[in-house]
């Protein structure tokens, strides 16, 4: 089963390789969202799509967790923590992103997303979930330079027309970073599947009603099978699989490792555009890829333990 820890059963549970394989898959799934979303948005509103994504994922994770065991949490206050994580990492994250993207350019959104690892590591360090080292700082800077080379910020226009959308994308980045930084303790405690089930259950209490309201403004009989297929792909790949594998990895590595993989999204988006949309290929993404992978290596590389004399 793809949503079981057994999806990596060929790799040791505590292996340092498995979480990175999962995180690479996460970014590939997230990178597929614009391709599926471009077609789905031709028919559905952003809020309806968010409702489908969150509601569909909540139902899937609920069923899967019930098949494996119960949904009960050990402490009553933990329900409040997961409700808070859902508000930050699901509700705000989704609504800020899709609303902001409708008001600004994709280039602006990609550039602002570079702030996610910076926000996450600072917040995670403050909460004691991460250790800030010069190697990690240097790795983040190198990867950020690679992203900026790819998206060319000198051609990015931040104007009063896009200001509100840019701010929403900034809040989206901050909300996702905060969620990753503070949720590790609870995800490690309860496991990825139970944790992500509660996150989407709580998130669906807000996102689904909003989505249903906008869905009610449509004539569903005119929706094509292709549009429904694109929505189904959005629910399965960049939502169910991506969020689960992200949580699975977060329970096993530091938050700084999880968020630095965000730097791969602009690169994956560019390659997707070349493959699926026929955009022009150039040397710039190659240079960008090299710098991004160097940065990821520096952040994820474990420092050698000190040698103690006896």
Question: CB 303: neighbour CB atoms within 10 A?
Answer: 9
Percentage of residues in the chain having pLDDT higher than 90: 36
* pLDDT for res 94: 87
For residue 15, the SS3 value is coil
CA atoms of 134 and 162, how far apart (whole Å): 35
Phi, psi of 10 (to 5 degrees): -75, -10
- Could you tell me the sign of the dihedral formed by the alpha carbons of 106, 110, 116, 119, in that order? negative
Residue 17: C-alpha distances to residues 10, 185, 296 (Å): 11, 21, 13
CA 285, CA 290: separation in Å to the nearest integer? 9
Yes or no: say if 183 and 110 are a contact pair by the CB < 8 Å rule.
no
Q: Identify the pLDDT of residue 54.
A: 95
The pTM (predicted TM-score) of the whole model is 0.77
**Do residues 98 and 47 lie in contact, with contact meaning Cβ atoms separated by under 8 Å?**
yes
Asked if 44 and 218 count as a contact pair (C-beta separation under 8 A), the reply is yes
Residue 162 DSSP class: T
Tokens of 233: 């792909």
pLDDT values of the chain reduced to their tens digit, one per residue, 310 residues: 445 444 444 444 445 789 989 999 998 888 777 778 778 888 999 899 999 999 999 999 999 999 988 999 999 999 999 999 999 999 999 889 878 877 776 656 766 776 777 788 778 888 877 777 888 888 878 877 877 776 665 655 555 667 788 788 888 888 988 998 889 889 999 999 999 999 999 999 999 999 999 999 999 999 999 999 999 999 999 899 998 998 999 888 888 788 778 777 767 766 666 676 565 666 776 677 678 778 777 776 665 444 333 3
Q: What is the rounded distance in angstroms from the CA atom of residue 235 to the CA atom of residue 57?
A: 7
Q: Pick from 169, 167, 149, 154: which is nearest to 109 by CA?
A: 169
- pLDDT in the model for residue 300: 67
pLDDT digits (tens, 9 = 90+) for 277-303: 565 666 776 677 678 778 777 776 665
pLDDT > 70 in the chain, percent = 78
């Amino acid at each position: 089963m793809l949503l079981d820890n057994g999806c990596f059963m060929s790799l040791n549970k505590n292996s340092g390789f498995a979480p990175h394989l999962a995180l690479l898959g996460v970014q590939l799934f997230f990178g597929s969202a614009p391709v599926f979303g471009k077609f789905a948005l031709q028919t559905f509103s952003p809020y309806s799509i968010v409702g489908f994504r969150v509601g569909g994922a909540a139902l899937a994770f609920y069923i899967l967790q019930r098949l494996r065991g119960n949904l009960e949490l050990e402490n009553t206050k933990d329900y409040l923590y997961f409700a808070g994580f859902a508000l930050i990492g699901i509700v705000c994250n989704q609504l800020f992103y899709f609303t902001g993207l409708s008001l600004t350019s994709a280039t602006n959104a990609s550039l602002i997303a570079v702030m996610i690892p910076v926000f996450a590591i600072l917040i995670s360090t403050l909460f004691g979930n991460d250790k800030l080292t010069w190697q990690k700082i240097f790795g983040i800077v190198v990867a950020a330079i690679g992203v900026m080379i790819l998206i060319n910020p000198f051609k990015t226009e931040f104007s009063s027309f896009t200001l509100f959308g840019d701010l929403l994308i900034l809040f989206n980045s901050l909300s996702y970073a905060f969620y990753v930084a503070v949720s590790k303790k609870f995800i490690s405690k309860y496991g990825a599947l139970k944790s992500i089930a509660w996150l989407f259950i709580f998130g669906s209490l807000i996102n689904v009603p909003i989505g249903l309201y906008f869905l009610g403004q449509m004539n569903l009989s005119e929706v094509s099978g292709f549009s429904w297929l694109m929505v189904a792909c959005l629910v399965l790949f960049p939502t169910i699989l991506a969020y689960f594998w992200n949580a699975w990895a977060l329970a096993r590595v530091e938050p700084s490792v999880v968020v630095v993989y965000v730097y791969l999204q602009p690169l994956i988006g560019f390659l997707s555009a070349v493959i699926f949309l026929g955009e022009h290929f150039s040397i710039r993404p190659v240079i960008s890829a090299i710098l991004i992978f160097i940065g990821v290596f520096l952040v994820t590389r474990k420092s050698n333990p000190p040698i103690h004399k006896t």
